[in-house]
Structures are given as C-alpha cells and as structure tokens.
Amino acid sequence: MLKFNRVSQLRTTYKRCLAGQSQLQLNPTDAEPAYPEIQDTSFKARKQKDAANWHEEIRQVPTVEEKMIKINIPRYYGFKVVDFNDSKIPYNALPLTQHYTRTVLEDLPSKSAKTQDPEQKEQPSEDALFTAARGDVIDALEFAHDYYKHLEKQPNSAEHSPVERERILTQIIVEQLNRALLQSLSEEYKHLDEVEVDYNPRHEAFWAVGGVDPPKNVQKSKKGREWQKEMANESVDRLVQYTGAPYLALRHRKQLSPWKTEAESENHELSKQLPRFKHDPRTLGYSTKHQHATNVPGYWPRGNEHNFGLLSFQSRAHLQLRPKSYGEQDMLEALHSLAIKSSYAWLLAQANYNGFNTYNELTYPMNTQTVITNGREWSFYEYQLNTLLLHGNNVDGNPRVNFCRGTKPLPLYAEISASGKCVDFNDNALRHLLNFYANVPSIQRSIGEQQPYVASNVSGYENAEQRDFISKTFKYLASNRPRHLELPEIYLWEKLYKIDNNNRAMEAKRRFFELDINPWQRTLDTHDKEYVPRALRPDVPKNKNRFKKTYYP
C-alpha cells in the first residue's frame, strides 16, 4: 500500500489552504472578506431550486412553440391532469373553481353605476341606435326559432336529447344575434369591423395549482421512506387541463381596458380571503386523465394579429341534467363556476401565445367578456386576469388575484308565441349585451411589451429541418392523439405470479417492472430517431447521418 510521508502530507494540506484562500474576495474599502451565500442542501430546498431553474429555462426558450414543447418534455405519455371542461360542473364546485383560478367573485354593476371612460363613446341607450338594434334582435330571435322548427320537420332529422336540442337552438340564436348586432352597431363602433369571429372554437388551457392535499398513494410512498416521513402530509401541486368549445368567440387586435387598478389587483389581505379547497378534486366528482399539456385559444400562434379575446358565448345546456334538489343557489354558483374557468382558460391560452404560462408570470393584465346562455336566459360576466402563478408556495405568497364580476340569469324574452312572435322582450338584458359589444378595446402594446419572453418565431429559423421538426412536434402535441405504441401493461397473471408472489423466480426478467423501469417517467425526447434512406444522403459516408436530428429545446 502506498503511504504518504510526513512532508507530502504537509505539502498537500498547504496547497489545500492556499486554494481555499484564493476563493475569498476582499473588498478594498473593507478588511473583511465577502463570503459566498450558504446554500440550503436539504432535499426540499434542492427540489425547489431545481423547479426554479426549470421555470427559468422555459422562460429563456425563444419561441412560443418551443416553450410548449419544453413544458411537455418530462412526460412522453402525458401528465396526469384534473379534467376541467365546460360540460361538467359538480355540486358545490364554486370554492374549488375559485381556488384553482385564484379568482375573486363580485357582482357586475348596473349601467348607471358604471364609470365611463371619457375617451370612449357613450354606451347604447334609449335612442335611435338602441331602437334599431332592438328590432333587429327581435327579428333574429323569431327567425332562429322558425328555422329550428323547419329543421325538426325534415324527414331525415334524427331524434335528439333535450340537451342536444338546446345546444342546436342556442347555436342558431347566438349566430343570428351576433350577425344582427354586428350589422347594427358596426357603423357607430368601428372596432366591430375588425373583429375575428370563431364558430365553435377549441379552447384549451393547462396550469398547475398548489395547496392541495396529497393523494393516498403519495402519502403511503413517502411514509415508506424514513427520510420522507415528515413530508408525507405536505401539500402538492395538481395539474389541470381545461377543454371547452363555446358557441362563438370574438377576437380583436387590441386589448380591453382593465377595470381593476394594479393596487386593487395586488392585495395580500384579499388573497388570504380566497376559498381554499385542499381535498382531492375527485371527491367532488371531477375525473383525472393522462394527456399532454395544451394551450389553444382557438387559433394557431402568430396566425394573425387578433390575439386578444373580446367576447365569448358559453353553453349551459348540460345544466338541464342537474338535479332540482341542488337548489337555485347551487345553480347560480354553477353558472359562476363555468364563467370563471372558461374565462380564465381562454385568457391563459392567449397569454401562452404571448410567451407567458403557468410558470412565467404575466407582466400586464388581460381582460375578456363572457356570456352564458340557453337562448332565453342570459348571464353576463367580465373577467380580469392578473396572475398565472398558482403553483407551489404561490398559493400563499402571491399577493395578486384575478377578478370576475357577473349578473344573475336575465331573461331576454319570455317565449315565442304560436304565431312566431317574441313575447315580453327584456330591454335590460339587451342593454347588457349591447354594452359588451360596444366596449371598445383601446390598449395596443408594442411587440416588446406584449411578448417580453418571446425572442423570435419558428419561421425565422434558417434551418428548414429545424422549422419542420418544431412545427410537427408542436402540432402533434396539440392534437392530443395517442401514441402509436400504447403504454406497457401489467397483466393480471403477472401481478399474481410475479409481483404479489414470486413464483417464477427462474424465468428471465425482461418485463419493464422486472427491470425497475417506470414508463410514466419516460421523457418526450426518449424515442428512436427517424431513419434517413441512403438515397437521400449520397454525398456522405453510408455510416454517417443515418438518422434525422432532433431539435428539442
């Protein structure tokens, strides 16, 4: 065995001391050295640091498409998400919805109580414009009902359920009212000439929520490890995926003006008063599924300049299936829940196309307007998005809150008579609808201010192969198609004879659970590369460039 003599040991110790002294930096104005910050090396601190570094990596990604791919990198088969949608609202869902969107709910003030912007035009009232719009709306309602009756009399018309019949009738009413109001108001309100109209658009959004109790399997897993027992009951993040399809949505190139100031939006005391729902969302009736994270506001990124939502019309047909025993108050809360989550998801998807996401905070507020209707009853809501940080410690430490204000359901008319005439038309409901259309978007930001975290776009890349790879990968993730190879399955006989009872000890271990491989931990970039045929690479050696390059961020 090689042994150091005393001189060699002293020389090694001396060099180590000199190396340690060289790391100290002396301030010329102060005789004391400036020591580096002491790092917390605990498991929890290291996990928080790794998460913060990953969030910073997402922020540094230059394009919108690559940011979405970066978020999906950790899971090849998708994340386990809470299924939020616009067709299912369980009983007593409002507290959970407010917690999962960090939203404060208020009442929408009446027209007389609103403080109008002096630069904006006066809202529609009892004048020639209102009278003309009223007549056009009544004609549109009567035409919609007459056309729906015509469809029902067709010999090849299928028998629909009550929910589907309401959806079809409401779709016709909303489209006809939108057409009539755009024609009546566009001469006075020029911004309506510039709106983009989306029919049954696809609205999807992905975000992370903190402050939720861990599931039983997570608690059991941590309690089985001595060094994690103390963290077994700590709250965890739950991933949420919203999916919806409104009747109709209007978009504009300018933003709506916020109705809450920055001081009102950043209120730590108000954030502490938000409802907290710490239980598993499945206790209310929500389900979970596995899918990739998608943010789709109804159009592709950089498809056009109309990147801000003006107005959307949501369906309430599924509320017909709600038991009457829930009561009127729960029905009202269900409408509030639908308005909150649909508005939040649409604004989040729009923010994602401007470079923000659930891990990178907004730098300016975003607003939209939402209408929930079945054709006869109309509920009106305004939503202001101030923050996207809901994960981890932000559930307690983030002082920003989002705001939603709305009305109770207002009847637009009582009924359509046997002769096809509109009975007991409600002017108050029409005023609310006209005020939403007449709300002029006035905020236009520069590209640098609107998209501070977006450095370039995919079309600006010189490498055609890179452009094609990013575009195909992004669109494949957004399509929600299943993988061509399904997730590996543990068969019942394997669980009985190999996992629960080791009765096949002599059999070769080839299955994934025998090799200690977790398929859910497979990352998005873990796959075989695409082979390039020899004919397509004639100028290189046959053993070179055999596979296409990948360009994951």
- DSSP string computed for 398-457: --B-EEEEE---EES-SEE-TTS-EES--HHHHHHHHHHHH----B---HHHH-TT----
Position 463 in a domain: no
pLDDT band at 31 (very low <50, low <70, confident <90, very high): low
Position 180 in a domain: yes
Q: What is the mean pLDDT of residues 235-249?
A: 95
72 sits in which H/E element: helix 64-72
pLDDT at 228 over 80: yes
Handedness of CA 133, 138, 143, 144 (dihedral sign): positive
Query: What pLDDT shows up at residue 55?
Result: 95
> Taking the complete model, does pTM exceed 0.75, yes or no?
yes
Kindly give the pairing relationship between strand 25-26 and strand 33-34: antiparallel
Per the CB < 8 A criterion, the answer to whether 64 and 454 are in contact is yes
Q: For residue range 201-222, what is the model confidence (pLDDT) as tens digits?
A: 999 999 999 999 998 989 998 8
pLDDT band at 5 (very low <50, low <70, confident <90, very high): low
pLDDT at 530 over 80: yes
For the chain, the domain total comes to: 1
Tell me the two tokens of residue 393: 């410690």
Query: What pLDDT shows up at residue 1?
Result: 41
Position 1 in a domain: no
Tell me the two tokens of residue 269: 């005391």
Sequence-separated (6 or more) residues with CB below 8 Å from residue 14: none
Query: What pLDDT shows up at residue 287?
Result: 94
Query: What pLDDT shows up at residue 303?
Result: 57
Position 42 in a domain: no
Position 16 in a domain: no
pLDDT band at 29 (very low <50, low <70, confident <90, very high): low
pLDDT at 24 over 80: no
Query: What pLDDT shows up at residue 89?
Result: 94
Position 32 in a domain: no
| Bridge partners of residue 204, in order along the sequence | 243, 296
Q: How many CB atoms lie within 10 A of CB 76?
A: 19
Position 485: which residue type? L
pLDDT at 25 over 80: no
Q: What is the overall mean pLDDT for the chain?
A: 89
Query: What pLDDT shows up at residue 112?
Result: 42
Q: What is the mean pLDDT of residues 34-62?
A: 90
Position 529 in a domain: no
Q: What is the mean pLDDT of residues 446-456?
A: 91
Least confidently predicted of 158-162, 279-283, 385-389, 489-493: 158-162
pLDDT at 494 over 80: yes
Position 526: which residue type? T
Query: What pLDDT shows up at residue 19?
Result: 61
* Percent above pLDDT 90 for the chain: 68
397 sits in which H/E element: helix 394-397
pLDDT at 227 over 50: yes
pLDDT at 2 over 50: no
* Percent above pLDDT 70 for the chain: 92
Q: Which domain holds residue 426?
A: 75-455
Residue 108 CA to residue 247 CA, distance in Å, equals 23
Least confidently predicted of 50-59, 142-151, 152-161, 261-270: 152-161
pLDDT band at 155 (very low <50, low <70, confident <90, very high): confident
pLDDT band at 240 (very low <50, low <70, confident <90, very high): very high
Contacts within 8 Å (CB) and 24+ apart, 108-115: 108/380, 108/381, 108/382, 108/405, 108/406, 108/407, 109/405, 111/431, 111/432, 111/435
If one compares 109 and 185, the residue with the highest pLDDT of the two is 185
Per the CB < 8 A criterion, the answer to whether 203 and 255 are in contact is no
pLDDT at 83 over 80: yes
pLDDT at 401 over 70: yes
Position 47 in a domain: no
Per the CB < 8 A criterion, the answer to whether 384 and 395 are in contact is no
